[in-house]
Amino acid sequence: FEERLNDPNIAVLDTRSYHAFAAQHIAGAWHLDLNGNFPTFAGWVLPTDKDILLVADDYKKALEALTWAQRVGVDRIVGCLDGGMADWAMKGLETSRFKLISAGDLHDMIAGYTDFVLIDVRAPLEYEDNHIKGAINIPVAELRTRHAELDKEETTVLICSSGNRSSLGASILKQHGFKDVCNVAGGMTGYSKAGYTRECRACVN
């Protein structure tokens, strides 16, 4: 697996939870939570010109990801990481990470003096229904190109409805050299449940 990473025609797809991905992942990996809307985004955002190596919780989960991916035409998955990230870490191999913050953390950042950019990666209809004042709406798939509109040196916080799409967005920004990236756990759903904004009807639907 490590040797294959040196091939420019290889991409890595991590299918674990967004909590696990934020804590530790292989640098440059795409993140699509298998428990999220995996097949839709797999068919939408993954590169079609590269072979794909999987990182999963276990081999059974890797096979499940393979099945869903093939159903949406992603048919270049060629292997998975034996032993998962636990084995990777025990071999002393390099990993990457980014911050996972709570609704309360985000509220404190907004109310305080922290300098950051908030990117709402939901669909435009979700954003129009309810969003945090000052948030920039860039649907997650568009970050593949629109990352160029953002400053890599700024603290960039991503939010969606739950934390899954924003984790994908964080993985895209990390691929493009963004260093200070945060994902809001629970997304707008958690932010509204904490009482900081009204419930987003589109998110609930």
Any idea which residues carry the catalytic annotation?
A: 160
Strands (E), 59-185: 77-80, 99-101, 117-120, 136-137, 156-159, 181-184
d(CA 174, CA 179): 7
Q: Which H/E stretch holds residue 191?
A: helix 187-193
Exposed / middle / buried, residue 16 (Cβ in 10 Å: 0-12, 13-18, 19+): buried
d(CA 155, CA 176): 14
Residues with Cβ within 8 Å of 125's Cβ and at least 6 positions away in sequence, in order, are 202
d(CA 149, CA 131): 20
